[in-house]
Amino acid sequence: MDVAVGIVAQRDNERAQALAASLVDALEREGASVVVDDATGGAVGTSAVPVAAMAGRDLVVSIGGDGTLLFVAREVGSTPVLGINLGEVGFLNAVAPDDALGVVTELAAELDETGSVEERELARLRATGVEADWTLEPALNEIVVHGPRRGSGGGATVGIEIDGQRYAESHADGVLVATPTGSTAYNLSEGGPLVHPSAETLVVAQMAATEPMPPLVVEPETEITLTVSETETAYAISDGRNRQRLDPPAEVSVSLANDAVRLVGPQANFFDGLDKLE
């Protein structure tokens, strides 16, 4: 079998590490080339590399919750990813642990035989400075622009322009732009709408605005500009992790990233996931 597979197990999770070891054994018996992430290598006893070094392999398997898959997707870019769900909700991770061996080995065999497998692309967002030379790492869930901190005394005045037309401007904790994938995350906690994964849309939502407008659903190709002012410091943040400090007044452009995340294997049931939300 001429297939290269990377396996990433949720950090400090013995169950994930044990499943990773089983997958390594099964795939290597079939002749696949397998590496695990360097945090798992010691526990599994096989070749280990940084997750980013798995970019370009035929398949990367993420074992954990949606947070683990978000991390993996950020590191490996457009490399096909399969999610095995050890979490509670699992909007992205469709494969149950008991089914993992069969699904992963079947996918590897299909890749070996045909060179490809059926996949689903998930849009990512890119934030760039309009008058400043910076670009954040792409976000699978959301881009957020907010003041120096959340809560009392920490907001900013944030304006929203859609294709050059003003939609809203208000003092607020911030504004977020979410993908359909991210609609069930930060967006939902801020009162934004749920978006079915098959919908090709983005959501623009204010966060605790003093003069609120309803969350706005737009086409993915829409030009979205967020203007932040009336604060000494603000931030643009990608998926709650990568951040860029802003010196207001500042403008941030949010648009589709060039490369989507490529999910392979069974699809998670969106409505089953909703039943597990609190």
Question: Active-site residue among 66, 133, 163, 272?
Answer: 66
Domain hosting residue 190, numbered range:
125-256
Say yes or no: 191 and 101 in one domain: no
Per-residue exposure over 104-121, b if at least 16 CB sit within 10 Å of its own CB, e if not: bbebbeebeeeeebeeee
pLDDT at 14: 92
pLDDT digits (tens, 9 = 90+) for 110-160: 999 998 888 999 999 999 999 889 999 999 999 999 998 776 667 899 999
CA distance 234 to 189: 21
Say yes or no: 135 and 113 in one domain: no
Angle 275-277-278 from CA coordinates, rounded to 5°:
120
Say yes or no: 184 and 204 in one domain: yes
Say yes or no: 105 and 166 in one domain: no
Q: Which residue in the block uniquely carries the two structure tokens 């909700």?
A: 89
> Does residue 93 carry a pLDDT above 90?
no
pLDDT digits (tens, 9 = 90+) for 54-85: 999 999 999 998 889 989 998 998 899 999 99
Residue 160: CATH number of its domain: 2.60.200.30
pLDDT at 237: 96
Which of 35-39, 151-155, 223-227 has the weakest average pLDDT? 151-155
Residue 117: CATH number of its domain: 3.40.50.10330
Say yes or no: 75 and 155 in one domain: no
Say yes or no: 67 and 175 in one domain: no
Q: How confident is the model at residue 94 (pLDDT cuts 50, 70, 90)?
A: confident
Say yes or no: 252 and 265 in one domain: no
Binding residue ranges for NAD(+): 66-67, 141-142, 171, 173, 184-189, 208
- Give the predicted TM-score (pTM) of the model: 0.87
Say yes or no: 202 and 246 in one domain: yes
> Are 142 and 196 contacting, i.e. CB atoms less than 8 angstroms apart?
no
Instruction: Tell me whether strands 174-178 and 224-229 are parallel, antiparallel or unpaired.
Output: unpaired
Residue 194 phi, psi (nearest 5): -75, 140
> Does residue 89 carry a pLDDT above 70?
no
- Is residue 66 flagged as an active site residue? yes
Tally of domains within the chain: 2
Q: How many helices (H) and strands (E) does the chain have?
A: 6, 18
Say yes or no: 103 and 196 in one domain: no
Say yes or no: 183 and 109 in one domain: no
Say yes or no: 117 and 130 in one domain: no
Say yes or no: 73 and 161 in one domain: no
Q: How confident is the model at residue 88 (pLDDT cuts 50, 70, 90)?
A: low
Residue of higher predicted confidence among 67 and 199? 199
